[in-house]
Structure 1
């Protein structure tokens, strides 16, 4: 398989698997209270960009539950984008792959959850977030990128 095609296929596959892992993680250790999750960070970010709540909170019904599909599109888009970035940047700067993705995941958490999203007002400042959110998000980002790394490694074989 040509190199560019392999990078795209492996990055998308790893991003999808990583996104599923992160969703599963958040079922075990929910990062936000139900009240704070009424409008989750992807929904809030889109609303800050001018997307109406009728779109950001759009759902489909499965097993009698409302599933926020716009949030899922953002979730998987984020995961695929960072899986591709990890793969491309990691080839150029192998130090990014130290820790099999865990340190990269920690860096993504720090950049977005500790700096950018609080600065933009998408989520509260770090000091105003509950410790449970930090535990879930820090460990979740590490496990997410570790799974991305493992999928990419498996696809190289």
Structure 2
């Protein structure tokens, strides 16, 4: 079954996608506190910071922080993290209506595909992270499972909105 583009409620789909993506972004950050994907040394410049620097954004901006509870937190990294998550929430919300097959497995295969494309292919190709073979096993485990749970969360939130009819 394929839905016609003109039958999509674009406003609702975008709003639900953004909301689901933001919540799932929180889930992914929580996951990374339980299973950190990178060593502290490799996280001194995390992938969002490194990618921005590759695009010419100065380190004083990419490493800008705010202080909360006595800790320095990388707000620029969070902007990238949540923008990515919200963007994929919208993509999944709309894409799942246009091509329902992407929602198979409650979003888990889609999340794993996002991990594979970005963490094993694109970012290593760009030099943002080491080649997949040079990344520690802990990073693969954390990112693989984290992306699966991240997209599962997006899928569950979108489904709950669809089922509630709101």
Whether TM exceeds 0.5 here: the answer is: yes
Structure 1 unaligned runs (5+)? none
- State the 1:155 CA deviation: 1.2
Q: Which residue of 1 aligns with 2:159?
A: 153
State whether structure 2 residue 142 is matched by structure 1 residue 136.
Answer: yes
Bigger CA radius of gyration? 2
Among residues 96, 119, 126, which one is paired with 1:120 in the alignment? 126
List per-residue Cα deviations over 1:27-72 (Å, max 9, x = no partner). Answer: 0000000000000000000000000000000000000000100000
Q: Which residue of 2 aligns with 1:85?
A: 91
State whether structure 2 residue 56 is matched by structure 1 residue 50.
Answer: yes
Q: Which residue of 2 aligns with 1:98?
A: 104
Q: Scaled by the length of structure 2, what TM-score is found? A: 0.93
Q: Which residue of 2 aligns with 1:20?
A: 26
Structure 1's consecutive aligned runs of 4 or more residues displaced over 3 angstroms after TM superposition are none
- State the 1:87 CA deviation: 1.2
Structure 2 unaligned runs (5+)? 1-7
Among residues 69, 72, 77, which one is paired with 1:71 in the alignment? 77
The alignment's C-alpha RMSD in Å is 0.8
Q: Secondary structure at the match of 2:42?
A: helix
For 2:133 and 2:15, locate their aligned partners in 1 and report how far apart those are by CA, in whole Å: 39
